[in-house]
Structure 1
């Protein structure tokens, strides 16, 4: 299974570990051309983090870059179901103020 998948609603579901050991490419580069086109056409998407088992500062940076790269391509991203430990890391890093996090919602 890959780190993330785009479901039939155009939302992204992230699986497993979001850390320095699993992240080899950024979000936008990891998308296929058809997935990129679908997101651009939808103009908005959600990244569901409910299946993330572990995340570190590299995972937080990946999310920040995902939001940035999507925005640069005209796509508005919302982060759903962010794990508490990742949310705390974002607060400690002062990144929580610009991450578009919504709680208690699902992209499924």
Structure 2
């Protein structure tokens, strides 16, 4: 199984592919949550989460950090194709309303 996390951003669209877990988040540049918005020239960005193979609470927390960063940068961020297991985890953590913005 591929254990790498890939994040691609092209103007208004982005995709996260692979496992979104504590292990893969730890390998990201510490400012990756900010640099994601540099790849977008639009005020609104939609990130497709449909290719996430699995996620844990650290991955969920990182997505929430993206939302917080977008807010601080006066950008709109939304997520598309949120996997069911990630939605269940968000509901258990009582943060599902933040993902479904």
Same fold (TM over 0.5): yes
Cα displacement (A) at 1:36: 3.3
Unaligned runs of 5+ in 2: none
Q: Deviations over 1:21-43 (max 9, x none)?
A: 1002478x22686x63453x411
Query: Which protein has the bigger helix share?
Result: 2
Structure 1 gaps of 5+ residues are 102-108
Q: Given the alignment of the two structures, is residue 70 of structure 1 paired with residue 57 of structure 2, yes or no?
A: no
Runs of 4+ in 1 over 2 A off after TM superposition: 24-27, 35-39, 98-101
Q: Is the Cα–Cα contact under 8 Å of residues 3 and 16 in structure 1 kept in the other structure?
A: yes
> Contact (CA 8 Å) 1:19, 1:58: kept in 2 or not?
yes
Q: Root-mean-square deviation (CA), in Å?
A: 2.4
* 1:1-108 aligned within 5 A: 3-7=6-10, 9-24=11-26, 25=28, 29-30=31-32, 36-39=37-40, 41-101=41-101
Q: TM-score, normalised by structure 1?
A: 0.77
8 A contact 2:13–2:47 mirrored in 1: yes
SS in 2 for 1:22: helix
- Alpha carbons 1:26, 1:62 under 8 Å: kept: no
> Residue 96 of structure 1: CA displacement?
0.7
TM-score, normalised to structure 2's length?
0.82
